[in-house]
Amino acid sequence: MAAVAGGAPPEAAAGALPDWFAAKKRRTRPNLIVHRWVPIALVGAPVLVLFGIVVYPTVWMFYHAFQNTNMMRLFRGNWSFVGWENFHAVLTSERFWDSVQHLAQYLVFGACLQVALAAVLALTLYEVVRRDWVRVVVLIVLVLPMMLPPSIVGVLWKFLLTPSNGAINAALLHLGLIDEHIEWFNAGMSLWSIIIADVWNWTALPLLIIYSGRVSLPPAVYEAARVDGASGWLVLRRITLPMLKEVIAIAFIIRFMDAFKFVDLVYVMTSGGPAQSSELPTYIAFQRGIREFEVSEAAAYAIIIFAFSAILITLFLRYLKKVLKAQGIA
C-alpha cells in the first residue's frame, strides 16, 4: 500500500486491486421497478378498465335515457331526442309504483330481517359457544348458503316451495302447523317466497361482518363491567350493541344496496309474477331493456333507481353520523 501511495506505476496499482474492481463495467439492464412506464401501466390499465366497464356505459345510459331508442333504432342509428318523456312514462306508471311497494316490503322483511337475524346469530355464537372449533364449524355451516350462486338458490327453493309435493309443505303438514298446502307462488305469497330464499342465501354476509366486529371489541371493557357486577343483559344493551352500531350499519347498507340490483331470484323463482305481484324496479328495468328491447325506457328506470337509492343511503348516513355525534363517538 505504501508503494502505491508513493507513486507506483498505474499498472502496479491496477494489479494490486481485485479482479472484480479492475474488470470492465458490465452493461446493466434498466431496473423494471423504476422504469417510467411501470407506474403509468399500473395506474393506466385499471383506469382504462374502469372507463370501459363503468364510465362509458354510464354516459351511454344517460344519453339514451333522453332518446326514443329501442333495439332496432340502436342498430340503425336513427333514434331521436325526446327529452324527459321516458322519465315521465316511468314515474306515471302504476307498474313502477307497485314495484316500489314490493321493494319496500323486501327492504323491511328481507334486508332488515337478515341484519337482525345475523346480529342474533353472531352474538349468540360468540357469547354462548366457548370452544373455538365448534365456532369454526358453525360458521362454515352458516356461510355455505352464501357460497351458492343465486340462480342455483332460486331453483333449489322453487323445488322446496312447490305447493303439491314440496319439502316445506310436507314438513309443515307433518308437524301439524298447517292443515292444507300453502300456495307459495300465488299473487299473495310469491314475494314472500323470494324473501325467504334470499334470507337463507345472504344472512351469512352480515353475520360475518357483525361477528368480526364483536371479535375486535376490546376485552378490557367487559372485564371492567364484570368487576362492577353488570349482568349479561346490561352488558349487551349498554356496551356491546352501542359499540357495534357502526358495524351493524355497514352490514345494513351493504344489503340495502344489494336490494337495488335484486334480479336473479325474482327471474328464476317467479319471473315477476303472477300478475306482476313480485316485480321489483330493477327487474322491470331488466325486462324492458333486455327482453323487450326498450333501451331508452330501461335507461330511465336505471337512473331513477340510482337516484332513489343514493338519496336514501345519504339520508341514512347523515342520520347515523348525527346519532354517533350525539353519543360522542364521531
CA distance 141 to 127: 18
Residue the block writes with cell 330493477:
282
pLDDT grade for 328, boundaries at 50, 70 and 90: low
Per-residue confidence (pLDDT) for residue 298, from 0 to 100: 92
- pLDDT tens digit sequence for 117-162: 999 999 999 988 888 888 889 999 999 999 999 889 999 999 999 9
Does residue 2 register a pLDDT over 50? Answer: no
Residue 81 phi, psi (nearest 5): -75, 130
Q: Which three cell numbers stand for residue 97?
A: 309504483
pLDDT grade for 284, boundaries at 50, 70 and 90: very high
Per-residue confidence (pLDDT) for residue 87, from 0 to 100: 94
The closest alpha carbon to 154, from 187, 107, 193, belongs to: 193
CA distances from 280 to 24, 159, 194 (A): 75, 22, 11
Average pLDDT over the chain reads: 85
Contact predicate 113/200, CB 8 Å: no
Residue 292 phi, psi (nearest 5): -110, -5
pTM: 0.80
Contacts of 76 (CB under 8 A, 6+ apart): none
Per-residue confidence (pLDDT) for residue 92, from 0 to 100: 93
Residues of the chain with CATH 1.10.3720.10: 94-326
Write out the H or E segment, with its range, that includes residue 170: helix 167-174
Amino acid at 321: K
**% helix / strand / coil in the chain, to the nearest 5?**
70, 0, 30
Per-residue confidence (pLDDT) for residue 205, from 0 to 100: 93
- pLDDT tens digit sequence for 175-200: 888 888 889 999 889 999 999 999 99
CA distance between the termini of the chain: 71
**Range with the poorest average pLDDT among 4-8, 65-69, 76-80, 254-258:** 4-8
Q: Which CATH architecture has domain 94-326?
A: Orthogonal Bundle (1.10)
- pLDDT tens digit sequence for 48-104: 998 888 889 899 999 999 999 888 888 888 888 998 999 999 999 999 999 999 999
**From the centroid of its chain, how far is CA 35?**
37
